[in-house]
Structure 1
């Protein structure tokens, strides 16, 4: 997909999302969960639309940083219960193994949609207000940076629906908040305030109001967008890869990465700009 095709794909629009560039002079795109009347509960179309939007933005040079947030009073209330019922509905079959394999494939497809946030080369910031529950935590945990307003609250709610969270929370949260905190959240399903989320590292910044959150995240994403895309995307790739490697393996991986990417025009521009005391102008990717 080239840039023109990416723009065409975004212009088709979405049922569950709104994708906008608020200021054409700032290479930041916002992905809004767009079912405010349902507290942005995630339906089946969302799981096909999110990867489609991210794939297009990944290839768009004017998108150097992304923000995921929600329209209305809440970030995300989790998976829509009617969608959950349709996911678990068993087809008519005489073979119980075939039924379970079909359900497994459905779950894997949903997981893949959330993992698309990590696969996107661009940095993704979660802007969280109000409820961030169940699938909302899955989505937030897949983002690179998480910020929230003081009214935000978090709950890994799946245990109260008699199931284990299966879209990435149990895999990603231990690396974010530590095993003990992750186990506490996942086993109890309790509600966590913004201040507690900050204390355990679930979010990195808390803002006093939703307006302050929007302004703060805009500044954060704008700052990311001003940096070298090569450096930012490389940092994201190495961080994600190193999460699953030993220290020595991670060091070897970044050495190999920089051996391939270090000698770039962006590096030359960064050094020249520093010496000339001016703002650098980096390549568009």
Structure 2
């Protein structure tokens, strides 16, 4: 398995098809460095292309999920005497960082994010691009960018309104206020909240294993259709899924699921 400076990948249980991807700069509270934005899409692509991976759990090493973009990275953005070329270079840098976060959606495999401690700024960008979100009750969230003189630019302003509603997203983004895990649950940002990190870890492991045991074609198809349907009308979305299933439905997975049901056993699916 590849070695990364800012990430760690492991397989907690031998022969499991659930793999864990950790933000791995615990001494910096998993602040997002330049290396992170280079490494993150590479790591996700390696998991996506690995036939032994059916589900991915994203988590933070140490006491926090993510404290946002590393201040050293922000300080490195400098303007030269040519304002136009400085702007063009900065735009490329921002697009590069955006694509690293969007890699979560582009990954075919479902990504479940497990959030504890701080989830600030760029951490919000990351979790809003994940498929399922869970957290501890004492997790602390903040769309922090306006407090450091920035407009959030890595996906929060585009994804958060669809998750928590436009009005809630505006309030959170303009005030940059902190909010708790229980409020995140009330807003719909996370699906469940847990009283301890151990409880969170146990539940996430259970859910990830459940998803990983399902038909890989059905799971990846469900993720793809849900993401695509956000940008389509109802009629267009129905047409899209009809086309998708006309290609994918008549698979060995369907035969296996049907046989397992009648034989009262757990289905066993081929790798993707």
Coarse TM-score class (shorter-chain normalised): over 0.9
Of 162, 180, 190, which aligns to 2:149? 162
Equivalent residue, structure 1, for 2:11: 21
CA deviations 1:23-42 (Å, max 9, x no partner) are 12211110111111111101
Instruction: Tell me how large the CA RMSD over aligned residues is.
Output: 0.8
Equivalent residue, structure 1, for 2:94: 107
Equivalent residue, structure 2, for 1:128: 115
Equivalent residue, structure 2, for 1:237: 224
Equivalenced residues, count: 272
Measured after TM superposition, the shift of residue 12 of structure 1 is 2.8
Gaps of 5+ in 1: 1-10
What SS class does the counterpart of residue 18 from structure 1 fall into? Answer: strand
Measured after TM superposition, the shift of residue 96 of structure 1 is 1.6
Equivalent residue, structure 2, for 1:258: 245
Equivalent residue, structure 1, for 2:63: 73
What SS class does the counterpart of residue 210 from structure 2 fall into? Answer: helix
Of 27, 30, 33, which aligns to 1:40? 30
User: Under a length normalisation based on structure 2, what TM-score does the superposition of the two structures give?
Assistant: 0.98
CA deviations 1:224-274 (Å, max 9, x no partner) are 100001000000000000011111111111111011111000001101110
Tell me, in whole angstroms, the C-alpha distance in 1 between the residues paired with 2:146 and 2:136. 26
What SS class does the counterpart of residue 226 from structure 2 fall into? Answer: helix
Of 43, 46, 49, which aligns to 2:39? 49
Tell me, in whole angstroms, the C-alpha distance in 2 between the residues paired with 1:163 and 1:33. 23
Gaps of 5+ in 2: none
CA deviations 1:61-85 (Å, max 9, x no partner) are 1110001101111000000101111
Tell me, in whole angstroms, the C-alpha distance in 1 between the residues paired with 2:191 and 2:247. 31
Q: Verify: 1:89 aligned to 2:108, yes or no.
A: no
Equivalent residue, structure 2, for 1:4: none
What SS class does the counterpart of residue 246 from structure 2 fall into? Answer: helix
Tell me, in whole angstroms, the C-alpha distance in 2 between the residues paired with 1:79 and 1:164. 13
User: Under a length normalisation based on structure 1, what TM-score does the superposition of the two structures give?
Assistant: 0.94
What SS class does the counterpart of residue 263 from structure 1 fall into? Answer: coil
Tell me, in whole angstroms, the C-alpha distance in 2 between the residues paired with 1:152 and 1:58. 28
Equivalent residue, structure 1, for 2:265: 278
Tell me, in whole angstroms, the C-alpha distance in 1 between the residues paired with 2:31 and 2:49. 28
Of 240, 254, 259, which aligns to 1:267? 254
